[in-house]
Amino acid sequence: MTVQPNMLFVNLAVKDLDKSIEFFTALGFKFNPQFANEDATCMIINEGAFLMLLTEKFFQGFTKKKNC
């Protein structure tokens, strides 16, 4: 996958990454394994929009604010 300037990636903290993947897969969403590891996965919304599901601990590395 080539990242294009008109692409949108949104980060979302989740409590349980595996359960979140299972939930969104059941809704019909696909994931890009190129951007996945034990702390994150990339859910494909459409060809230009992606939702990054991040474990809460990993997400915390992107902000100084406390997770709710």
CA distance 67 to 48: 27
Nearest to 54 by CA among 29, 35, 68: 35
Domain ranges of the chain: 9-60
HSE-up (13 A, CA, CB side) for residue 47: 2
What homologous superfamily does CATH list for 9-60? 2,3-Dihydroxybiphenyl 1,2-Dioxygenase, domain 1 (3.10.180.10)
Q: What is the per-residue pLDDT across 17-65, written as a single tens digit (0 to 9) for each?
A: 999 999 999 999 999 999 999 999 999 999 999 999 999 999 998 877 7
CA distance 40 to 65: 19
Task: Show the tokens assigned to 8.
Answer: 């949108």
pTM of the model: 0.84
CB-CB contact of 4 with 47 (8 Å): no
